[in-house]
A and B are shown apart, each in its own frame.
Chain A
Amino acid sequence: MSADAATAGVIHDIGYQRYTGQRLGRAGIIRALYWHSLRSAFGIGRGAKAKIIPVLTFVVICLPAVANAVAVARGSSRIVPYDTYTFQLRVVVMIIYIAAQAPELVSRDLRSHVLPLYFCRPLRRLDYPLAKLAAFITACLIMIEVPLLILYLGTIAQSHGGSAIWQQTRALVPGLLVGLMWAVLLAAIGLVLASLSGRRAYATGAIAIFFFLTWILAGILISVNTRNVVHAVRVAPGAGGGAGPGPGQIGPPVVVTQVPTNAAHLSGLASPFTILDGVRQWLGGTSPSPLPGVGSYGALYGVALLVLLAASIGGLAIRYRKAGVA
């Protein structure tokens, strides 16, 4: 390198400078790590390829809110509820987003064995997962709450009078709280699953499989535990949720009412998304969703939410208490 040093000449002669400026404490360092992680959750500061999925999923999850704004502008009333948004779309988009981005936050550092370089700096052992979790919760909040805000703004843009706006605001707040619940739980599950493997593909696969399988399982359990009650009808204009006569069925017209059994009320416990929805219904959310009520098990959903959250955060803490030392 002496040749390079010679050509660099004057610059090189500055010599080593001691750093005498300000040094951030632990809190400042955690904040720096938080920002760095939040940016990488959206591919900011990385190549264009890293931004494809965050941008795409964000655009898709905002579409219903934009559609609502258009509909409201044409005179319709609000077409999307705040507390469930568009349930199925939100589930699918969040699975894709988390499966793609949670490994971005934790698996890369595991893969390239960077952790010792964090832990040899003035951080405590659990500061690293804490900053990562906070950053990813924020990222999920952005994914979930920004569409709600677009929905709100699109709606009140056409509202006239303070009371109409107040009504929208009152409906929005529970929606935001449900979104917060989603963000915290999904981010925690996503990160703990991602931290199991340094290989991005495995981590992404584990997250996607876990969320999709449990989601499908909950759907199956709900449908097998929902009893179809067949009523013969004479006059049935729009009897609740029923179907018309079955194909090829002979006889008088019937209406099939789907009556969830107790087992169906419990089936939602099979998946994080239906657990979140169970808690929403327990707390008074009324918009329809794939989970047909929680019966008298609302509190159980609350407990399930807390247990799942505690297990995820605890798992993350255990994962990083030992990682990176060896």
Chain B
Amino acid sequence: MTHKNERVLSVTELSRVEGEGALYLRASGNRVEEARLDIYEPPRFFEAFLRGRAYTEPPDITARICGICPVAYQMSACQALEQACGVTVGEPIARLRRLLYCGEWIESHALHIYLLHAPDFLGYRSGIEMAAQRRDIVERGLALKKAGNAILEAVGGRPIHPVNVRLGGFYRAPARAELAALTDPLRRALDDALATVSWVAGFDFPEHACGGDMLALSQPGTYPIERGTVQTRSGLAFPAAGWDEHVIEEQVPHSTALHAHLAGGTRYLTGPLARYSLNSRWLSPLAREAARTAGLGPTCDNPFRSIIVRSVETVYAIDEALRLIEAYEPPDPPAAEVRPRAGVGHGVTEAPRGTLYHRYEIGADGLITTARIVPPTSQNQAAIEADLRAFAQARLDLDDAELTRQCEQAIRNYDPCISCSAHFLDLTVERSLLIPNGAWFPCQVLAAGRPW
């Protein structure tokens, strides 16, 4: 009688990711048969929740989808609804939005670099363990994060779920002096960000390349944040209104988030690697130089090196924030008037984790009839699973514990923001034999808690 050797790695709650998700990997002999990133996230609920609501409400409601990237939701929602109503905001408002978005990039990237991702490279089980050993380093990360928070508070009214954003612009434009007060802290943060690039560039990175296409906004002349045309590395270019034609979403059994692929069937990656690879030439000179000294070329395909790209983007966001503050003139009025009309609008911006698409249809009465939200992590699921499969295939000689650890790290490379929630990890590794009648025979079960 022959027994087929099967290995099942199951991480029921992923640690150090923003949200609730699980990893499932099944190998048979020397071949990875299945790799799944199980996600249970709430944005699909929000799409239904928005129907029947006033056209003015999505910026506030969708901000609640995520505590880490609420500005991204607000900006994509505003852009889509303003388009539906035939309004284009002026440059002063657009620049203030970009400044607010810079604050979110700084805060989100600093959290991921220092407390969620760096521990993987330095052999710490958690950010807390790293804090105990390297207090100076973690304090630098918290100082960076705080600099981003200060922008969110000054422009958005508070650091989480900003309350100063409205359709057409802002309820109140900060005075010049209020933003000027951010300059010195941001200059110090810029030094911290440059030190961060040098620090992470010294980590050891496994040789690994993600396959598939890449998708990000592109806006010639500037690094894309709050607007731009959707582009792919393979040469597609389309406006937000072309999203449905080019991006296909589909339900898969193991996830409440929809998977996405390009219309031709190609899977793609969105996020810092895609953004950088499509737009590195539009970084500021300082950020470009930081990338060069860190050893990054004009593109980057290695997900492990995404921590360098995030650090470079943090330099850019601070540099850009300083530039915007220096040139700031309060928009007057702080918001353009947006009157409802029957129509459809599309909005697409670059959340810290990648491209975030919103689509709204509203009636002449200003009530929303349909809403669609496509967050970056759900777009990335197929790419993460494909990457995980290839990554694990090359490492099947590792024991279960080490293979699981490395696969978790491979997932954290993508900084998945699975929802506005997050859990610490209960990890289960299971070795099994599949006997010929197809029944599972568990051989060994290990369990270990993994802290944040």
Q: Are A and B part of the same complex?
A: no
Listed in ascending order, the chain B residues whose CB lies under 8 Å from chain A are: none
